[in-house]
């Protein structure tokens, strides 16, 4: 009966796993950035509109939305980099 060498199996499968993770990272990176970019357009447009209308409450709401979306994008970058 033949024994399986776990160390040898791990050495062979590790480069394959790294390659697959790298591929998954690149596949989901771009659509996520595009999505957040599109999501940022609306609050920026609302902020510009509120600036011209001098509606300060509306302006604060849009600044808050922009900050939250930028923080989510930053968090996404951290998650994607940590899974690389």
Q: Is residue 53 part of a domain?
A: yes
Q: Is residue 70 part of a domain?
A: yes
Give me the pLDDT at residue 64, please. Answer: 92
Q: What residue numbers bound the domain in which 75 lies?
A: 35-84
Q: Is residue 57 part of a domain?
A: yes
Give the number of domains in the chain.
Answer: 1
Point out the residues of the chain with pLDDT beneath 70.
Answer: 1-29, 76-84
Q: Is residue 9 part of a domain?
A: no
Q: Is residue 49 part of a domain?
A: yes
As a whole number of angstroms, the distance between CA 67 and CA 80 comes to 20
Residue 80: CB atoms within 10 Å: 16
Q: Which of 79, 69, 74 is nearest to 42 (CA)?
A: 69
Q: Is residue 23 part of a domain?
A: no
Mention every residue, 6+ apart, whose C-beta is less than 8 A from residue 43. Answer: 62, 65, 66, 69
Structure token digits, residue 72: 């989510």
């Amino acid at each position: 009966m033949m024994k399986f060498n776990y160390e040898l199996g791990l050495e062979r499968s590790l480069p394959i796993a790294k390659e697959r993770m790298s591929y998954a990272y690149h596949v989901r990176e771009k659509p996520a950035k595009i999505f957040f970019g599109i999501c940022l357009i609306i609050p920026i447009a609302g902020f510009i509109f509120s600036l011209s209308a001098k509606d300060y409450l509306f302006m604060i709401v849009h600044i808050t939305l922009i900050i939250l979306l930028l923080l989510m994008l930053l968090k996404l970058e951290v998650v994607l980099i940590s899974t690389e």
